[in-house]
Structure 1
């Protein structure tokens, strides 16, 4: 029960890393609030988690819309009266050479991956400041530190999140608010699975290629990242501030040959 009675907000909580984190947080006694535009998946996830030790509520929220976020915040505070943890997890990607990426796609990825965390944090931070306590976990990526083919748009957003995390920590440390970033490598989420199925004639060949980029023998799972998020959300990481926690199978650690 490492998060007993802590109110934990998770954006993009219906699938993948967000869903795995919501499940783990529930098991650890948290009162979980997930936000996602995919309400069908959110409802299925909540139904699966009935009976866990924590509590979970799913809300339809557009992280790029300030009014949608404000309504969610109001509901959360009506239910719990406080906010202890915010996990800015919602995100999307785009593939292609920079000069080939449509401007609308660029703005959409930026809106979800950078403006979204800004808007949600902007809404939540006054509550944490008043409480003089709180934890914010921002989703960056190991791609913020390495080059990866045809991912310039995605990399730009994740680099922004890493830099934003460090500056946020400086600003909010006096209020006993910790801000850290997660930096996953290739995590086998439903998004990655769909991409491989649609982009490659033989997805297994693509998976083997992805494995060669890292030191570890297997791709990561959503649960691998969820356990890292649990550590950052819990009091066990009370001395971790403005840090980047890599969960990347050794992608940034060097090549095995």
Structure 2
């Protein structure tokens, strides 16, 4: 009996572990929020439909191709204030099922890092995918987590959406750390995850075929719905580094031109 109980405990502990831990922020990462402008943030606070184009499709491909994965939506927003809106948003936007964690008992400054540490200890993953934005502390927190587990043989893949500009006058956008990839569309993430053997060529090809035309012909300054380029996004500090994709997918040339124009990139 004791041996059976010990085996059962061991089995349960193994079942709670995940090969891949996938953590995504919500506001300004997948949901339109404009958190740096208080009046505009209030406008989007209870909007449970307006989202960044294509992120749900990317997330579904990640989950489909990595069966042993845990999906977590980790938000700094107070649970009592935004919890219902965020859960409705994830449902309305057809995002993969996962655990939603809003801010409850911890202060804003430690909420995310504390919960990330708990998730790491609970699931003991071999790979970690972290997706956030440069509006608040995601870049710093993700870099801190990767540093804390640097000697444990864990792969960290960190992606930061470039939403706010960073210049010498007003540094609204957080700086990225070494090992982090800035992105404007989900395609950039897909290329990096393909290199890491987390996404297949087939998945990337599907995303390119279905999403690139939508981005190329989308409004450069939209405000509601399924939005490619929200009006408030300033992506001048975005760095394009996927010229190899131009050789593999003809339509990517059009997307690069669109991003160059919308973000005012210097190529």
TM-score, scaled to structure 2? 0.45
Q: TM-score, normalised by structure 1?
A: 0.47
Larger CA Rg, structure 1 vs 2: 2
Question: Going by fraction, where is helix more abundant, 1 or 2?
Answer: 1
